[in-house]
Structure 1
Amino acid sequence: LPCFHLWFICSSHPHSMRKVANIVIGVLEGSRDDDLSPVLHTETVVMRLSCDSPVTYSKQDKELQCTVCDNLQKRLVHSEGDPYLLAVTLKGGNQSQSVRMNLSTYASPSCNSTKGQPVCLGIAKSNLYLSCTESDSGSPHLSLEVKELKMIRGEDGLKRFLFLRSVKGGSVNTFESARFPGWFISTATEDYQPVEMCAEADTSRQRVFTLLTINIK
């Protein structure tokens, strides 16, 4: 009787980052003249292990406390009771009105995209966090929600609080919605306008930010 052996060789697909499993099937069988020298037949089967199943993001210990400034030097401010942030040009002694943000980092699943570091942005000394949800018009909308966030699972609806932080040159930051890829936290050119989401192709809004560190916990 033939003897079957299986070898599993796993590698990463260079473009999709999905795991690729190569199954090499070796068939050992005798020849017709009863020669027991094995003959090896191999076959390669490629299986894609999808990362579409729910994933878990775990909160890390390190937390950055900072104020946020857009590319036009407007600071983010918050009025108590409002479910949004405003971008305002602050001068002189008014700098203290900048809202203090806690930037919490989360461990990214191994099969997740490498577009940026998953983070949550919350107002310091509160349970208010920025979240990206779908508006009545169908486009992504940024708001503040009260929430306790530690672990985020793909199936619990909390992915709306996650943003992919990309850093260039040490000070240039962008924040892309993890739930709505291609949409970024942004500010308007004018003062006293709400901080909102914008599509990557929208050049009318500012989506580059500088984080001014206050304290690292």
Structure 2
Amino acid sequence: MSVLEENPGMKMDCEDWERDKPQCSSKGPRVKARGPEKFTIHDGDHKVLVLDSESLRAVPDKTYILPETFFVLASRVKSACENKGSPILLAVSKGELCLCCDRKKGQSQPSLQLKKRKLSNLAAQKKWKCLPFIFYRNKVGSWNTLESAAHPGWFVCTSANPGEPVEMTKSRGGRKYTEFSFRHICKTEMSPSEVSE
């Protein structure tokens, strides 16, 4: 699989969103909003994220395994703290399933869920409706962390054991990987969920 390494100069933030949103002007043409960027996500243990039975799992990065395509869109929600990173929305399955960090009834801690929401519709929602879907993408050297906007201090993580579900953690390091690389993918590549039967 051919992938392009992440553009280190690329920054997705509110300013990009504001600049790229449709402009309403009677004097000039309308500018179309830029769509989401497509990436594969790899953890610090050389595993890739894949979609398996509507849950995300981290599996060893082998040439015969096709990583899931993640659709990443900058959120209009401004970060309260500059050090939190750029607020983004993440989706899989052609932007039809969005990652969400929320508490299920009866649970004391938040969990990572995939909810059936269109990324394009979610981006237009008010802050309080889309907050569980927002993650702060923060650069840590050449890696990125993904912190929940709705549950500060909780990070997306993978386990040291391959095949386990991707989840949320409050403790960083140890047997949990909270640092990821985003690899921009070519438009011709497709993830398993994009292949039509």
Q: Fold-level match, TM-score > 0.5?
A: yes
CA distance in 2, matches of 1:137, 1:204: 23
Matched, 1:72 2:69: no
Q: Any conservation in 2 of the 1:84–1:142 contact (CA below 8 Å)?
A: no
Q: Any conservation in 2 of the 1:64–1:215 contact (CA below 8 Å)?
A: no
Larger radius of gyration: 1
Q: Which runs of 5+ in 2 are unaligned?
A: 1-16, 22-32, 188-197
C-alpha displacement at 1:124, in angstroms? 4.6
Tell me which residue corresponds to 1:131. 100
**Secondary structure of residue in 2 paired with 1:155:** helix
Tell me which residue corresponds to 2:34. 61
RMSD of equivalent CA atoms: 2.3
**Secondary structure of residue in 2 paired with 1:193:** coil
**Secondary structure of residue in 1 paired with 2:41:** strand
Runs of 4+ in 1 over 4 A off after TM superposition: 57-60
CA distance in 2, matches of 1:142, 1:154: 19
More strand by share: 1
Equivalent residue for 2:158, pick from 178, 183, 187: 187
C-alpha displacement at 1:154, in angstroms? 3.1
Render the CA deviation track for 1:103-141: whole Å, top value 9, x for unaligned: 1111343x7222110001111524101100113321010
Aligned length: 153
Equivalent residue for 1:118, pick from 51, 67, 87: 87
Matched, 1:100 2:75: no
CA distance in 1, matches of 2:174, 2:125: 32
CA distance in 1, matches of 2:183, 2:156: 17
Query: 1:9-48 residue pairs with structure 2 within 5 A?
Result: none
Structure 1 residues 201 and 167, CA, compared in 2 at 3 Å: closer, same or farther? closer
Q: Which runs of 5+ in 1 are unaligned?
A: 1-56
**Secondary structure of residue in 2 paired with 1:67:** strand
TM-score normalised by structure 1 residue count: 0.64
Tell me which residue corresponds to 1:85. 56
The sequence identity of aligned pairs, in percent, is 28
CA distance in 2, matches of 1:126, 1:164: 19
Stretch deviating more after TM superposition (178-187 or 206-215): 206-215
Tell me which residue corresponds to 1:165. 137
Letter in 2 for 1:180: H
